[in-house]
Amino acid sequence: MTRTAVVYHPIYLRHETDGHIERKERLTAILERLRAEDLRVEFVTPAPATLDQVATIHGQGYIEQVKAICEHGGGYLDIDTVLSRDSYDAALMAAGGAIAAVDAVMGGFKRAFALVRPPGHHAMPNRGMGFCVFNNVAIAAKHAQARGLKKVLIVDWDVHHGNGTNAIFYSDSSVVYFSTHQFPHYPGTGRADEVGEGGARGTKVNVPLPSGTGDEGYLAVFREILRPIAMEFGPDIILVSAGQDPHKNDPLGGMSLTSRGFGAIAGVVKEIADACCDGRLAACLEGGYNLDAQAEAIVAELCAFQGDVPEISGTDLRVAARIEEVKRIQSAYWKCFQ
């Protein structure tokens, strides 16, 4: 059995959001489900990210802004993103959790899943947004590179485009960012022609999907776009921005993924990790707002990481057309589509 780490710290529950949909019960529901399922996972306690580690992505002025708001009892970074007294410490630990997941898969584990909050993939270098404070996955990617892993693949299956991660690495050819997301939808970015700039063109692979996309459509995208690009790129580690809000029961999304579908796409990512980077695969929690659906989907993902992958069959003609569009755009940069 593949050793799988689950990274968690109780300080994540002290990021109080006063009835906000991104609330601490998201984590307690996952933890309860993991205990009920008796999964073979080992819990890992992270340390907070250092200021130097956070500063690989975020400006000093923004870091100080977050700290000051929290020291004054809390407030808002934007209309959607609330901070409480302990949110700064929780955010440092969330980034530290993503870092700990990287360290785990560079150590004795093959896979890791960081159950962190606040989430991160919308966070820009100098501002938070979309419930996100620090960009946990981006900080983890820089940490992996600092430890000698040169090429990083970030897979983002959240229902919302990870505009922060996309922007942070937009001119960085050492990081391939692959995103499936509902479009049009918040935050409005992630068109198929957003491919990166300069020498990094083609390393940003955005797959905007129509509302209602389900298991068959998602799996086709992962098999027909992600897998060939990943095999050609040859990453040294794979990081996942794991948002469960494409689930058919999620209140903030309009997609139709089932928990089996999450397991199936996680299985494709696991196959790529085994083929390219000695199995190194570290996921980090992003969105997901139906408590039961999110917990069930994460169980399916963890099972897939360990080799128990559901079989999905069928086609989605709407998504087939989008796949061909993305292949046409990316064929200028990837031999697999030429």
Q: Which tokens go with 322?
A: 């989008």
CA neighbor of 193 nearest in space, from 183, 181, 206: 206
Count of beta carbons in the 10 Å neighbourhood of residue 313: 7
122 is catalytic: yes
How far is the C-alpha of 286 from the C-alpha of 294, rounded, in Å? 11
| Residues in Cβ contact with 71 at an 8 Å cutoff, skipping those fewer than 6 apart | 85, 88
What are phi and psi for residue 119, nearest 5 degrees? Answer: -70, -175
End-to-end CA distance of the chain: 39
Work out the angle between the directed axes of helices 259-276 and 291-305 (0-180°, nearest 10).
30
DSSP-derived secondary structure letter, 50: P
CA-based torsion, 133, 12, 139, 96: positive or negative:
positive
Catalytic residue, candidates 121, 122, 181, 185 = 122
CA neighbor of 270 nearest in space, from 278, 262, 260, 281: 281
H-assigned helices in the chain: 25-37, 51-54, 60-71, 87-105, 136-146, 163-168, 215-221, 227-233, 259-276, 291-305, 317-330
Distance of CA 136 to the CA centre of its chain: 9
Q: Check: CB of residue 224 under 8 Å from CB of residue 337.
A: no
Q: Are strands 81-84 and 74-78 parallel, antiparallel or unpaired?
A: antiparallel
Distance of CA 270 to the CA centre of its chain: 14
Q: Which tokens go with 48?
A: 């907070």
Our CA dihedral for 139, 141, 145, 147, rounded to 10 degrees, sits at 70
Please give the positions annotated as active site.
Answer: 122
